Structure 1
Amino acid sequence: MMSFLIPAFCILLLALGLLLRPLFFRRQAASTSRRQMNAAIYREELEKLEQERQTGEIDTASYEMAHAELRHRLFQDTQEVDDQASFGSTKKTIVFVCLAIVLLSSGIYFYQGDALKIAEENAKQPVSQADVEKMVSEFAAKMEKDPTNLQGWAMLARSYRVMGRIPDAIKAYERAGSYINNQPELLADYADLLAANANGNFSGKPHQLIAQALKLDPNNFLALWLAGSDAFSTNQFALAVQNWEKLAKQLPPQSEEARAVMNSIAEARAKGHLAAPIAAAGKGIGGVITIAADLASRVKPDQLIMVIARKPGERMPVAVLKRPVSAFPMRFTLDDSLAMNPAALISQQSEVTIEVRISKTGMAKAEAGDLISNVQTVKVGSSNLRINVDQVQK
């Protein structure tokens, strides 16, 4: 509230200052009476008449007649009651104007209600689907009357895309023509629409649009994702990994997008039988996992064992080992081949936190009933760790 009232008060003071300035800085000439002004005017007229007589512009008879008329008019005008020009009481005027403005503005404000509350109420009113469709339809009708507005057609295409009207979006992009040729975002969006409309087939125009977008912007997010998807769909798994790894390096390590991309990279590596990145010598973690005797009977063959390493203080793992449970003690190794993000490798860390979990589902988040170990902070390069699973997740 104060953030609104203080600027409003300052604006009011400024307006009053400008409005009342003439009352504070009155000119001395304001006290001149009407009689004095009339006398000064007629004096100038008489002097002008005298000059005309001396220069011969008028004769003596005309001069005498005009002179007599001016004297008569001057006598009449100076006999009127002298109503000296005045603003009246300056203090009263200032007080009246200030009170009038303050009362008027306050009345309007309280009648209309709190401006901030009004804004909040308006913000709470969601735009309905019908409203959106109406606006887009009106925009489309406007574009039909102005078919040469290529930028407008591109905007309409994006609007149709948001609404899920893919065929209409494709047609709008077609009418946008050359406008999108130098717009990598629009080229990638157009390619995505075409591929979606063709059930994921990137051949032909989608492939060309993606290549054009990457030529303009090699780091374009959507174009890199589509390029990887295009390569994956044609079994070019190495190329898919290349594009997706370039994309992953630009994403926040702990974001959902980064996890999705890393899962796609792992799938491409598995399907293409591609070797994982080689970890720097001595830059992994290894050791043995054991389980407490009273928990051994709770382990089932269909459960998964997960070894998770994280950078201290962060939630996103730098490496995760996940495989079916086997006999204990069980050896493990974590290295860059198990990285969740190629931009955040375990070999780049000096130390990590590590924990073991035996899970029924293999979900990233621990679930009640999972068997877990304590979380340890260890030096990267350690190879003789011993981690004991001795707790049950509540």
Structure 2
Amino acid sequence: MTAFIIGAALLLAVALAILLPPLWRSAPPAAGADRRETHLAIFRDQLAELERERDEGTLGAAEEAQARSELQRRLLDEVETQPAAALTQGGGRRTALFLVVVMPLAAAAGYALLGNPGALNPLQRQARIAPEQIDAMIGGLVEKLKKNPEDGKGWVMLARSYKVLERYPEAADAYARAGSVVDQDAGLLADYAEVLSQVHGGSLQGKAGELIKRALEIDPNEAQALLLAGAAARERQDFAAAADYWSRLLSQLEPGSDEAKTVAAAIGEARELAAARAAGGTTSAKATSGAAQVAGEVTLSGRLAGRARPDDVVFVFARAEEGPRMPLAAMRATVADLPLNFHLDDSMALAGGRKLSDFASVTVEARITRAGNASTSSGDLFGRIAGVKPGNRKLRLVIDQVQP
């Protein structure tokens, strides 16, 4: 905004510099008076010449009267012109003053009334895309891919769009259609694996694990693949492997950064668990149970039973009472599995994330979603219990509410 105002002021100054000098300058009064006296002297001489010619008889009475009338008319014209010229000389300076004072004020007032001052604010100029516009853009991309289903890059773009919108099943399907574009790119394989883990309640086993392995074969130092490989190893309780993967990732991070500190903490914990397992055999299992676990049974209220299908996905997860909204631990099942015995513990934590044992109390929630992902959607069936202390293994969680 400041740059615009400065630029406008400079342009106005240039315009005034061009217009003002000729208006401000005026002919000296003496020069105008001298010219007037000269003209009057000429008229007097011409009048005297007419009288002389009349007296000599060379000019008739009618001709003399006509000539005298012409001289008088010219004399009157000269007398009227002189005040007008004087007025013009004074008016030039008044015009100059008008331009200097009034023009800038008029320009500012006019822009304030007719312009758009808010457009000068860079924050106001930022594009604001409505959800409808996003849906329209994605819809357009889908239509293009229907006409050209071999466009691997287009499928990748669609997959990433769905991932941003947390529409993980659609994102996974789009990645699956991208073919060789994904199969030959370590970063895309890792991203595909992360999407699949979201679809399956955070688990990195099965196809997600295969994608991670393939990504590291293409690029052993791919950062996202190393992060996920460590999380998958921790999920299998292979803590030594988890520490190894994350150590390779740590060497790529800026020392002292928040990311480096988080990964270093995860490495330290994994090494402690690996050492405990090596020393006591079952110690590591104890470390991921007991006080660091919540468990119980999930059931579906009878009044909502008709609103759920057997193949609808059920997510059971724990969240902090206050703090991050990301689940501290989660598991996935289907309505056909209900009633479901569940347990959530530190081994289910995301790589480098917070754990159940970090909090004095958590909220445990079970959610039935036809969309197939853990994000909240209108129409979901859910139940939750707040204020659960880690170590409680006798929870009775009933799904008895409908998401507005």
Q: Give the TM-score band, short-chain normalised.
A: 0.3 to 0.5
In the superposition, the TM-score normalised over structure 2's length comes to 0.39
Bigger relative contact order (CA 8 A; separation at least 6): 2
In the superposition, the TM-score normalised over structure 1's length comes to 0.40
Q: Structure 1 or 2: larger helix share? A: 2
